[in-house]
Amino acid sequence: MKAAVIVFPGSNCDRDLAVALRAAGARVSMVWHKDTGLPPGIDLVGIPGGFSFGDYLRCGAIAARAPVMAAVRAFALGGGPVIGICNGFQILIEAGLLPGALMRNAGLRFVCRDVALRVASDDSPFTALYRRGQRITLPVAHHDGNYVADAETLARLRGEDRIALRYDGPAANPNGSCDDIAGILSANRRVLGLMPHPERAADPALGGTDGRALFAALAA
């Protein structure tokens, strides 16, 4: 598998994501936000966490309009798998590749801790090695992770089995996201946005390996 990790000014999880992908067997290219294309033969695009462009305007709003995003959008609309983690999730929403919005956390505080999650769907290239309903633990680190959407969008996400991950009940929900949503899929199931960081739980040295199966599934 050949993967491209997009790097913006303010990205701080790009190398973490590359390390996790390489550990799963991927060949990884780091792609600068001002590039206008992706490397040839790419099988996966990863958009990492961080604070692209200092989170000015709205989180991900400037990054979503970077030159490279036209190529990322075309790749995604052509069926190529794209994963956006934390700030990457925000960028995917701002780019129109996922519905809804990510607002300020309900407690108005930055949250950085491990959270309990449930795998809500195993029907995607990202979650295929998990079991539906499986409980996993991944870290979060965000200030604007409160997922909101209108009733029609939420009904569509539920009805089409496009909620990939949920926080394991209100007590585990760190940001107030509606329906305890932690990650969602696009209509073609090839784009995943999630607030938790699987790349920070993909090696025993990091304190957990519950994120490893996501990268193994992509590399399979």
Which region holds residue 17: left if phi is over 0, alpha if psi is between -120 and 50, else beta?
alpha
Whether 199 sits among the annotated catalytic residues: the reply is yes
Whether 86 sits among the annotated catalytic residues: the reply is yes
Report how far residue 218's alpha carbon sits from residue 220's, in angstroms, rounded to the nearest whole number.
6
With H, G, I as helix, E, B as strand and everything else as coil, classify residue 197: coil
Q: Which of 33, 94, 142, 199 is catalytic?
A: 199
> What are 177's strand-pairing partners?
none
Report how far residue 153's alpha carbon sits from residue 187's, in angstroms, rounded to the nearest whole number.
11
Map tokens 């052509």 to a residue: 78
Q: Which of 59, 86, 94, 142 is catalytic?
A: 86
Whether 160 sits among the annotated catalytic residues: the reply is no
Question: Is the separation of the CB atoms in 64 and 20 below 8 Å?
Answer: no
Q: Which residues are catalytic?
A: 86, 197, 199
